[in-house]
Structures are given as C-alpha cells and as structure tokens.
Amino acid sequence: MQFVSSQDLKSFGLIPELIGRLPVVSFLNPLDHSALRKILTEPKNALVKQYKKLFEMENIELEFKDGALDFIVEKAMDFKLGARGLRSICEAIVNDAMFEMPSDKTTDRLVINRAYAEEKFNKSHYSKLKVA
C-alpha cells in the first residue's frame, strides 16, 4: 500500500478525468492509539478541553480519568472511526450529564471513569454498530 499509483485509483473506480487532476497521489497510515489519545487531550481546542469548558459554564467541574480516555480511543479504533469519531463517542458518554446536571443542583462535579463511560456508551445507539 506504500506505493499507490494512478492505475490503482482507476481500478478502485475513480474516473480518469478526476485522477488526472490529482497532482500527487499518496496514502496515510491509520492513526494509532497514542495519536488518537493526543488528539483527544493535547491540542488547544481538544475535545476534553471543550467539554470541560461547557461544564464550567454551568459551574460543574468535569474530570476524565485515564481509563475513560482509553475506552474512548479503543472504541474509535474498534469502529475504525479515526479522529472524527472521537466526538461522537464522547457525545454518547457525556450527553445525559450535559442536560441533567445543570438543572440538578445537588452536585457540582462529574468524574468520568471507565465504568461510567462503558455504561453510557452501551446505552447509546453507537453500541449497536458492528465492529469493523
């Protein structure tokens, strides 16, 4: 797969008119566990930071444990969703709390560990997807 040619693209069904407009043909390696984990936590606008900020607006402290982050990355890899799938998985885990906690003034902190993440994910419709 390292050496992709224009002929390979044609055999996969791309029309020659489109292939001729591609000046460079290349391939990308799939993201590994550590790369997805970095995408989830490190950039300035990382998903974890976005969710913390959203909860902070409602005066709720949000914390993701390492086990929960590993679970999110594992599911993205299992379903071959890549970096774009991280948001959907996070949304499935955090969605209920985002809507229930601001009106329920009994707690001001949410800790998401692996058990919580698994429970919420398994209740979501994403758990019904087939593992690729």
Answer yes or no: do 18 and 40 share one domain: no
Domain count for the chain: 2
Question: Tell me, what's the pLDDT at 121?
Answer: 95
Give residue 105's pLDDT band: very low, low, confident or very high (50, 70, 90). confident
Indicate which CATH number applies to the domain containing 123. 1.10.8.60
Answer yes or no: do 45 and 25 share one domain: no
Which amino acid, one-letter code, is at 97?
A
Question: Tell me, what's the pLDDT at 69?
Answer: 98
pLDDT in tens, 1-36: 567 788 888 888 989 888 888 887 777 788 999 999
Answer yes or no: do 69 and 41 share one domain: yes
Angle at 122 between CA 125 and CA 109, to 5 degrees: 110
Question: Tell me, what's the pLDDT at 1?
Answer: 54
User: Which structural domain range is residue 22 located in?
Assistant: 1-30
Q: Distance between CA 125 and CA 69 in Å, rounded?
A: 19
Residue 131 has pLDDT above 80, yes or no: no
Answer yes or no: do 41 and 80 share one domain: yes
Answer yes or no: do 24 and 63 share one domain: no
Answer yes or no: do 55 and 90 share one domain: yes
Answer yes or no: do 68 and 20 share one domain: no
Q: Distance between CA 36 and CA 65 in Å, rounded?
A: 16
